A and B are shown apart, each in its own frame.
Chain A
């Protein structure tokens, strides 16, 4: 079956513009995660969805970042008034269910590379 997909694969934008990044999780996966990975850095957790609700938004770096998930499926990460420090690869992952040990294997998409000029 299809894996996690993300679009666009690359996005170049000017400082101050808003961007929307999209994630299509694996069908049936109830948990969805957004991470950010900067060059040479580990994965930085941003936000986690269980169904359409976000129990953990603790990783969002500022109020310029927001995310939503509709229909328990597609999720959109929005960055408003982008800054150069927002440049990174944004990764989305989904899992069958959170917090169930062996079922918490996360399946990652290929990421969106965001460059803010």
Chain B
């Protein structure tokens, strides 16, 4: 069956450092991979989408990589700030079926 795993439930880092979150998947061939941010008591908010033929995508302090051979995506936040503290979800997207979400990684950026 399809499986998507995010590397850890929680990640604590110091302000100013780069946070790296991992998303691994098996038994799936997504055409795209999406990352969302979710704050407590709120719905997820879309951040970035990367296509299978793209190795890397950037948006301000965010960078996403997508390795279809390793079946892995890495999500980086550079120069992290306490305001970046949230749960980050990855989602697999075949392009014609509903998204498959991971359980998320809760990031805490400590001042």
Contacts and interface: CB of A to CB of B under 8 A. Distances in A.
B93 A42 contact: no
Interface stretch (A60-68, A77-85, A107-115): A107-115
B42 A43 contact: no
Interface stretch (B11-19, B67-75, B76-84, B99-107): B99-107
Majority secondary structure, B binding face: loop
Interface residues of B, number: 25
B99 A106 contact: yes
A105 B59 CA distance: 15
Contact of B46 (A40, A48, A107): A107
A93 B104 contact: no
Contacts of A102: 49
Interface string B4-40: 0000010000000000000000000001101000000
Interface in A66-117: 91, 93, 98-102, 104-111
Nearest to A41: B103
Interface residues of A, number: 26
B96 A98 contact: yes
B101 A108 contact: no
Interface in B86-101: 89, 93-101
A42 B31 contact: no
A4 interface: yes
B43 A109 contact: yes
B24 to A, nearest CB: 14
A56 B98 contact: yes
B43 A101 contact: no
A48 B89 contact: no
Contact of A101 (B9, B32, B102): B32
A76 B98 CA distance: 19
